[in-house]
Amino acid sequence: MARTVTIQRKSLNTALAWAVGLLIFFPILWTILTSFKTEAQAIASPPLFLNFDWTLENYAVVQERSNYMRFLWNSVIIAGGSTLLGVIIAVPAAWAMAFVPSKRTKDILLWMLSTKMLPAVGVLYPIYLLFIRLGLLDTRGGLVVVLMLINLPIIVWMLYTYFREIPGEILEAARMDGATLKEEILHILTPMAVPGIASTVLLNFILAWNEAFWTLNLTAVDAAPLTAFIASYSSPEGLFFAKLSAASTMAIAPILILGWFSQKQLVRGLTFGAVK
Amino acid sequence: MYLKNALRAATALTFVATAAAQAETITIATVNNGDMIRMQGYTDNFTNATGIDVEWVTLEENVLRQRVTTDITTKGGQFDIMTIGMYETPIWGANGWLVPLDGLSDEYDVGDLLPAMAGGLSHDGTLYAAPFYGESSMIMYRTDLMEKAGLEMPEAPTWQFIREAAAAMTDRDNDINGICLRGKAGWGEGGAFITVTGNSFGARWFDENWKPQFDQPEWKEALTFFVDMMSESGPAGYATNGFNENLSLFQQGKCGMWIDATVAASFVTNPDDSTVADKVGFALAPNSEGVDKRANWLWAWALAIPAGTQQEDAAKQFIEWATSKDYIELVAENEGWANVPPGARTSLYENDNYKEVPFAKMTLESILMADPQNCCVQPTPYTGVQFVAIPEFAGIATQVSQEFSAVYAGQQTVDEALAKAQAFTAEEMEAAGY
């Protein structure tokens, strides 16, 4: 009897999980489906789910109108560069906070996080003026720095959480064996924290990839990433939903595939330390 | 020998100069509207003729506004040409942020620009942006449903007739709404529509002393009429409907009437996208009985050159090309007269081919009827029909339109919304020093 209840409960939980998963994924699925419709089919009422004439025309139009590869390359450089730079800065910071905490460590962590609470538009003008002065407008380097700074609090927080799970005695033993600080961080701490660092890198890469305020406001032509590519298909006067969906699908496809392949690491990293 | 060397040097210099000229590139910020996208497709014609390359930055309207405003106020120099509207042009021109468009060539024929458009894009008589396309608003209606309702649309109807016709055309069982109008918050969306509706009931935003007028009976009458009519005959959830939502409804045959931008006429009569393409009639936007102003606005998407650009001459060349008579001919030749950018040039409406386009006459009449210098029945201190050409307006009107949208959604009463609009506007205007 108990076994039957368990199986029933398991089945129910599985069904519920699938339902929630599908609900969350549905907007993406709908975008992908719409990208294969004509503009008229895209706005049809009642909406057409699968029973429409599938077409690749929207993808052809988008390819013809926009230089997709240039946008993609910019996204890769900006998201990859900002994540890498962020991790290089955050690892020593998180090490200090995790293994050599001071009275103010928690305050510093909270202060770092509080910078995320300021609406981005509040500092648009100062940053824009700085970019003009430094010649960084519409450059990938400028965006790498800005996105790194925006995501740095999250990177530090995540790494700090992972590092706290590593016994300090191991690092102490390394120190007693004569390891320098650099060797301790690079050869002892980092290899042990690889799952945590990997999930931090993945999450921040995704955040940087999807960032759409600074990437739209600080770029024009040369450094414009895929967020600008999508924005160029949004229209207030005209129904171009099918083309917009095709552009969106092309923009999210790389990150969706990356997320799909690394989902185990992502889940493992995000739930690391959640259950003790 | 000396001559040979001189010739070589001259040849080398010519090559360098040619290469420099060929390498000239201008960057244009624009919106993703149909006419703009079409223009991008013809850019090669311009490049082949002038050797000037063109880079496009296409953005959604609100993002574009924020982007170009940030750039021009900080002298960022990211763009050589900006696509801006009638609201920004006179303000930016007055601030010295735009290059005056004087010295345009004789072939360009600046006198051919529709006076309403040229006037709205000028400050103190100086043109600061060239209209790429212009629009007013008008009624688009289903001729078959009107006939079925036993009514005939006058060329210049009143709101009272429109309400009666909307009720008669409404068929809830078949999902047909008598009328579809904008209710979406935003100064350029529902805010624009309710402002011209107010104009057509004798209302105005400010009196001669810049005192807000939402506490006057004309606003109450206009807003109450709008809400009652939409409750009777409008689509469910109209509080969130803007241009695109109504276009979608109309194209699917779910609206008896739609009052909106004249550029929509080419969409609803296009058989590729519209299921009612052959059943659409046009009429002037309505007025309330006895009021001498109609609910039609005036807008232009125009090309302007930000002050400080390093490519002023090349930018001027592009603007001359894109807003010329020749460009209109080019589009007509390749895509038909119904697809040329409308509402910018007088000569277009004198063209016999264009006269055959079903919505051409009504578009021109609507444009000519809107007067930005004299928007309202009562005197006003401002210019603009569906907007007030002061920098504070966008922020104030967005907030006011949110209050009105809350009425459409049934979250507050007309009186509450008008009281809030009055208080908020008065406070903002006082803070701005008016």
Nearest CB neighbour to B273, from listed A40, A131, A228: A40
pLDDT score recorded for residue A118: 86
Domain that residue A187 falls in? 73-231
For B308-327, how does the pLDDT look when each residue is reduced to its tens digit (9 = 90+)?
Answer: 899 999 999 999 999 999 99
Judging contacts by C-beta atoms under 8 Å, the chain B residues touching residue A221 are: 27, 55, 57
Split at pLDDT 50, 70, 90, the class of B165 is very high
Split at pLDDT 50, 70, 90, the class of A3 is low
Mean pLDDT for the stretch of residues B121-148:
96
Split at pLDDT 50, 70, 90, the class of B23 is low
Mean pLDDT for the stretch of residues A18-28:
95
Cβ-defined contact of A216 to B59 (cutoff 8 Å): yes
pLDDT score recorded for residue B1: 46
Nearest CB neighbour to A233, from listed B29, B32, B62: B32
- Establish if B270 touches chain A: CB-CB under 8 angstroms: no
Judging contacts by C-beta atoms under 8 Å, the chain A residues touching residue B273 are: 39-40, 239
Q: Cβ neighbours of residue A3 under 8 Å, at least 6 residues apart? A: none
Chain B closest CA to A137's CA: distance in Å?
8
Are A94 and A221 found together in one domain?
yes
Split at pLDDT 50, 70, 90, the class of A275 is very low
Split at pLDDT 50, 70, 90, the class of B14 is very low
SS3 A44: coil
pLDDT score recorded for residue B2: 52
Q: Where are the domains of chain B?
A: 2-135+299-355, 137-296+373-431
> What CATH code is carried by the domain that includes residue A187?
1.10.3720.10
Mean pLDDT for the stretch of residues B255-280:
94
Residue found by looking up tokens 């390749």 in the block: B334
Tell me what percent of the residues of chain A surpass a pLDDT of 70: 95
Residue A31's Cβ-count burial label (10 Å; 0-12, 13-18, 19+) is: middle
Mean pLDDT for the stretch of residues B122-129:
95
- Establish if B251 touches chain A: CB-CB under 8 angstroms: yes
Indicate which of B78, B263, B301 best probes the interface with A, i.e. most A CBs within 10 Å of its own CB. Answer: B78
For B173-227, how does the pLDDT look when each residue is reduced to its tens digit (9 = 90+)?
Answer: 999 999 999 999 999 999 999 999 999 999 999 999 999 999 999 999 999 999 9
Examine residue A15 and state whether it is found in any structural domain, yes or no.
no
Mean pLDDT for the stretch of residues A179-193:
89
For B28-40, how does the pLDDT look when each residue is reduced to its tens digit (9 = 90+)?
Answer: 999 988 889 899 9
SS3 per-residue string spanning chain B: CHHHHHHHHHHHHHHHHHHHHHCCEEEEEEECCHHHHHHHHCHHHHHHHHCCEEEEEEECHHHHHHHHHHHHHCCCCCCCEEEECCCHHHHHHHCCCECCCCCCCCCCCHHHECHHHHHHCEECCEECCEEEEEECEEEEEEHHHHHHCCCCCCCCCEHHHHHHHHHHHCEHHHCEEEEECCCCCCCCCHHHHHHHHHHCCCCCCECCCCCECCCCHHHHHHHHHHHHHHHHHCCCCHHHCCHHHHHHHHHCCCEEEEEEECCHHHHHCCCCCCCCHHHEEEEECCECCCCCCCCCCCEEEEEECECCCCCHHHHHHHHHHHCCHHHHHHHHHHHCHHHCCCCCEHHHHHCHHHHCCCCHHHHHHHHHHCCCCCCCCCCCCCCCCCCCCCCCHHHHHHHHHHHHHHHHCCCCCHHHHHHHHHHHHHHHHHHCCC
Mean residue pLDDT across chain A: 90
Higher pLDDT, A266 or B144: B144
Phi then psi dihedrals of residue B144, to 5 deg: -70, -40
Tell me what percent of the residues of chain B surpass a pLDDT of 90: 88
| Tokens matching residue B131 | 């209209």
Are A138 and A173 found together in one domain?
yes
Regarding beta strands B122-123 and B126-127, do their DSSP bridges make them parallel or antiparallel, or are they unpaired?
antiparallel
Mean pLDDT for the stretch of residues B143-147:
97
Examine residue A3 and state whether it is found in any structural domain, yes or no.
no
Indicate which of A237, A240, A243, A248 best probes the interface with B, i.e. most B CBs within 10 Å of its own CB. Answer: A237
**DSSP letter assigned to residue A116:** G
Chain A neighbours among B 289-348 (CB < 8 Å)?
A: none
Strand order in the sheet with B255-261: B177-180, B255-261, B137-142, B280-284
Examine residue A7 and state whether it is found in any structural domain, yes or no.
no
Asked whether the predicted pLDDT for residue B20 surpasses 50, the reply is no
Q: How many CB pairs under 8 A join A and B?
A: 100
pLDDT score recorded for residue A45: 79
Are A190 and A84 found together in one domain?
yes
Residue found by looking up tokens 């790498």 in the block: A144
Are A57 and A164 found together in one domain?
no
Q: Please tell me the total count of domains within chain A.
A: 2
- From B246, B238, B241, select the one nearest B141 (Cα to Cα): B246
Mean pLDDT for the stretch of residues B390-402:
95
For A51-60, how does the pLDDT look when each residue is reduced to its tens digit (9 = 90+)?
Answer: 899 999 999 9
Are A87 and A172 found together in one domain?
yes
Cβ-defined contact of A216 to B33 (cutoff 8 Å): no
Are A106 and A192 found together in one domain?
yes
Asked whether the predicted pLDDT for residue B17 surpasses 70, the reply is no
Split at pLDDT 50, 70, 90, the class of B416 is very high
Mean pLDDT for the stretch of residues B72-82:
94
- From B30, B83, B53, B76, select the one nearest A142 (Cα to Cα): B76
Q: Cβ neighbours of residue B406 under 8 Å, at least 6 residues apart? A: B239, B412, B417
CATH number assigned to the domain with residue range B137-296+373-431, chosen from the 4 options 3.40.50.300, 3.40.50.1820, 3.40.190.10, 3.40.630.30: 3.40.190.10
Judging contacts by C-beta atoms under 8 Å, the chain B residues touching residue A218 are: none
pLDDT score recorded for residue B356: 93
For A212-259, how does the pLDDT look when each residue is reduced to its tens digit (9 = 90+)?
Answer: 999 999 999 999 999 999 999 988 778 889 999 999 999 999 998 988
CB neighbours of residue B106 within 10 Å: 6
CATH dotted code for B2-135+299-355: 3.40.190.10
Which range has the worst mean pLDDT, A183-192, B40-49, B349-358? A183-192
Examine residue A261 and state whether it is found in any structural domain, yes or no.
yes
Are A93 and A145 found together in one domain?
yes
Cβ-defined contact of B40 to A65 (cutoff 8 Å): yes
Asked if the domains at B2-135+299-355 and B137-296+373-431 fall in one CATH topology, the answer is yes
For B342-361, how does the pLDDT look when each residue is reduced to its tens digit (9 = 90+)?
Answer: 999 999 999 999 999 999 99
Are A62 and A84 found together in one domain?
no
Tell me what percent of the residues of chain A surpass a pLDDT of 90: 64
- Establish if B248 touches chain A: CB-CB under 8 angstroms: yes
Examine residue A121 and state whether it is found in any structural domain, yes or no.
yes
Asked whether the predicted pLDDT for residue B126 surpasses 50, the reply is yes
Cα nearest neighbour of B58 on chain A: A232
Split at pLDDT 50, 70, 90, the class of A115 is confident
Judging contacts by C-beta atoms under 8 Å, the chain B residues touching residue A234 are: 32, 60, 63
To the question of pTM greater than 0.90 for the whole model, the response is: no
Please, are residues A197 and A87 in contact by the beta-carbon 8 Å criterion?
yes
Which range has the worst mean pLDDT, A43-47, A262-266, B51-55, B94-98? A262-266
CA–CA gap between residue B190 and residue B179 (Å, rounded): 15
Are A227 and A123 found together in one domain?
yes
Are A157 and A210 found together in one domain?
yes
Are A91 and A193 found together in one domain?
yes
Which range has the worst mean pLDDT, A67-81, A166-180, A207-221, B107-121? A166-180
| Tokens matching residue B409 | 């959604």
Mean residue pLDDT across chain B: 93
For B417-428, how does the pLDDT look when each residue is reduced to its tens digit (9 = 90+)?
Answer: 999 999 999 999
Cβ-defined contact of B74 to A44 (cutoff 8 Å): no
Are A149 and A111 found together in one domain?
yes
